[in-house]
């Protein structure tokens, strides 16, 4: 009887591993296909077919894409733009989450209500008014305008995540720190910030990924200033690079897209442990 139960468990485990492996393969196949396609020539891509491996590997696509799309400039813009937005969002989100969850002040419920309501407003709806505000402030030709426009809506979801995480941390920690002489900022910086490291990792990853991949707002604000384009917008210019026969250079576009993925992949690998622990801790506390 015992041997039969063990056999059943072993069969279930094998089936689960097979199912998970198949699901992982299906999810990764497009990424693997695009990565391998970046080493194919444009003629081979245009010819189509289902071949996964290129007939002849070539690194020229990456070299040509880097030169054709001004990647050095666009990469700097993306790193500066995304890094600034992420750092400021993490700071604002943790501060606002601390104030909303730990303090009482006039208008608190109304402010929280606007946060929840704004989550149901599609981002495309706000592009035009945000664009007009930036233009009227004469910041539409600068990276500062793009950063300020993005910061306007980047702290809503992340602040709510911090509020939810702080609900699982006892207020006695704050009271003990206040008795020891800590002020409001001292409690935030010395007591709570080290404790909420997992959710800070989640906020960092979500903000970096969303900002790095944002397209519509950066496109609208950099139409007249190509030198300020981030990589997500600049890489699309490869679609309009004409080849020797006047066709689109899909090889350059695919190689450029692969290069643009590298920074977000690095950040994910760094923040993954914080992301998993933050989600797990939040689920347990919820």
Mean pLDDT in order along the chain per 10 residues (286 residues):
71 88 88 86 74 81 81 88 93 91 87 84 79 87 88 84 86 80 83 85 88 88 85 79 61 84 80 61 45
- CA-nearest of 260, 258, 266 to 34 is 258
- How many angstroms separate the CA atoms of 128 and 249, rounded? 32
Give the predicted TM-score (pTM) of the model.
0.80
- Closest Cα partner for 77 from 131, 150, 127? 150
- What angle do the packed helices 71-102 and 250-285 form, to 10 degrees? 10
The helix/strand/coil state of 50 is: coil
Specify the fold of 67-285. MetI-like fold (1.10.3720)
- pLDDT at position 2 is 62
Query: Which three-class secondary structure state does DSSP give residue 242?
Result: strand
The SS3 call for residue 248 is strand
Containing 33, the helix (H) or strand (E) segment is helix 2-37
Question: Taking the alpha carbons of 206, 111, 84, 121 in that order, is the dihedral positive or negative?
Answer: positive
Q: What is the pLDDT of residue 70?
A: 79
**Res 274: pLDDT:** 65
Q: Is 134 helix (H, G, I), strand (E, B) or coil?
A: helix
């Amino acid at each position: 009887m015992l041997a039969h139960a063990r056999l059943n468990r072993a069969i279930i485990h094998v089936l689960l591993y097979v199912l998970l492996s198949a699901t992982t393969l299906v999810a990764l196949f497009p990424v693997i296909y695009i990565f391998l396609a970046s080493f194919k020539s444009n003629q081979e891509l245009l010819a189509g077919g289902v071949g996964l491996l290129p007939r002849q590997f070539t690194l020229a696509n990456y070299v040509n894409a880097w030169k054709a799309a001004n990647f050095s400039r666009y990469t700097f813009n993306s790193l500066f733009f995304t890094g600034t937005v992420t750092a400021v969002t993490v700071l604002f989100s943790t501060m606002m989450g601390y104030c909303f969850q730990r303090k009482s002040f006039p208008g608190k419920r109304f402010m929280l209500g606007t946060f929840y309501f704004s989550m149901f407003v599609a981002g495309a709806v706000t592009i035009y008014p945000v664009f007009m505000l930036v233009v009227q402030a004469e910041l539409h030709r600068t990276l500062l305008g793009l950063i300020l426009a993005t910061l306007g809506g980047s702290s809503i979801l992340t602040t709510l995540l911090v509020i939810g995480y702080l609900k699982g941390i006892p207020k006695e920690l704050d009271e003990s720190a206040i008795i020891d002489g800590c002020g409001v900022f001292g409690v935030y910086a010395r007591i709570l910030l080290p404790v909420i490291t997992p959710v800070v990792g989640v906020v960092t990853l979500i903000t970096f990924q969303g900002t790095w991949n944002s397209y519509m707002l950066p496109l609208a604000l950099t139409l007249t200033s190509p030198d300020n384009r981030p990589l997500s917008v600049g890489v699309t210019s490869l679609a309009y690079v004409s080849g020797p026969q006047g066709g689109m250079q899909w090889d350059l576009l695919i190689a450029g897209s692969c290069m643009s993925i590298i920074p977000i992949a690095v950040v994910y690998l760094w923040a993954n442990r914080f992301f998993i622990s933050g989600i797990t801790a939040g689920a347990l506390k919820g």
